[in-house]
């Protein structure tokens, strides 16, 4: 087995093709993308942010869930889509990060606060700003349960999203399946 080589971290983001302007992009296509944090959902596990995962399956489930939350389109029907990002470990290490390996009490306190809309997580004085990235297990909130073998990385600052370089389309849902995976 080859030695660990500090390779890029591969993260996936599940969404729909209309939201990212990818109706004509197929798997393997690069996709110019500018993340607007103001458009990201609130009341999520780690607060308003751009969420990714190391699990393709989890990203597909997020994309399918997004389709279910959408109103009936007046134009073309959306398709679920998974975007793939390759991120330098050195770049990730340069960010202010809060990481949870397992769901301890501090993790649940943060999730409860974020899900209930309290002020965003932030570092103590003198920094007093949001963490760039928060990562940890995926919850089944409001129950205190996590999804086994699923993780999430949430990007919360402009500094963090600037490092999300052009993703490629990893996969798209099937129109024959209502656009879902």
Q: Can you name the residues that pair with 83 across neighbouring β-strands?
A: 13, 169
Range in 39-53, 84-98, 108-122 the model is least confident about: 108-122
Q: Is the pLDDT of residue 1 over 70?
A: no
The domain made up of 9-177 is a member of CATH 1.10.3470: no
Cβ–Cβ under 8 Å, residues 50 and 161: yes
Q: pLDDT value at position 175?
A: 85
Worst-scoring range by mean pLDDT, 6-15, 49-58, 68-77, 131-140?
Answer: 68-77
Is pLDDT at 148 greater than 90 in this prediction? Answer: yes
What average pLDDT does the chain have?
A: 92
How much is the pTM?
0.93
Tell me what the mean pLDDT of segment 61-88 comes to.
90
The helix or strand, by DSSP H or E, that contains position 61, with its residue range, turns out to be: helix 56-69
In the chain, where are the structural domains located?
9-177
8 A C-beta contact, residue 113 and residue 123: no
Q: Using CA atoms of 143, 43, 105, 13 in order, give the dihedral in degrees to the nearest 10.
A: 90
Length of the chain: 181
């Amino acid at each position: 087995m080859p030695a660990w080589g500090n390779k890029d971290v591969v993260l996936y983001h599940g969404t729909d093709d209309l939201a990212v302007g990818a109706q004509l992009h197929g798997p393997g296509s690069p996709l110019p993308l500018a993340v607007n944090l103001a458009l990201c959902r609130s009341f999520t596990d780690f607060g308003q942010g751009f969420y990714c995962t190391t699990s393709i399956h989890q990203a597909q489930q997020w994309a399918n869930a997004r389709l279910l939350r959408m109103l009936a389109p007046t134009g073309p029907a959306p398709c679920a889509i998974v975007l793939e990002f390759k991120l330098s470990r050195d770049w990730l290490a340069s960010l202010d990060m809060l990481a949870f390996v397992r769901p301890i009490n501090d993790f649940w306190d943060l999730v409860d606060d974020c899900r209930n809309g309290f002020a965003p997580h932030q570092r103590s004085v003198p920094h007093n700003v949001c963490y760039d990235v928060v990562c940890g297990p995926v919850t089944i909130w409001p129950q205190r349960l996590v999804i086994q073998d699923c993780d999430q990385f949430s990007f919360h600052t402009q500094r963090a999203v600037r490092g999300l370089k052009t993703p490629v389309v990893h996969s798209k849902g099937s129109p024959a399946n209502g656009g879902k995976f």
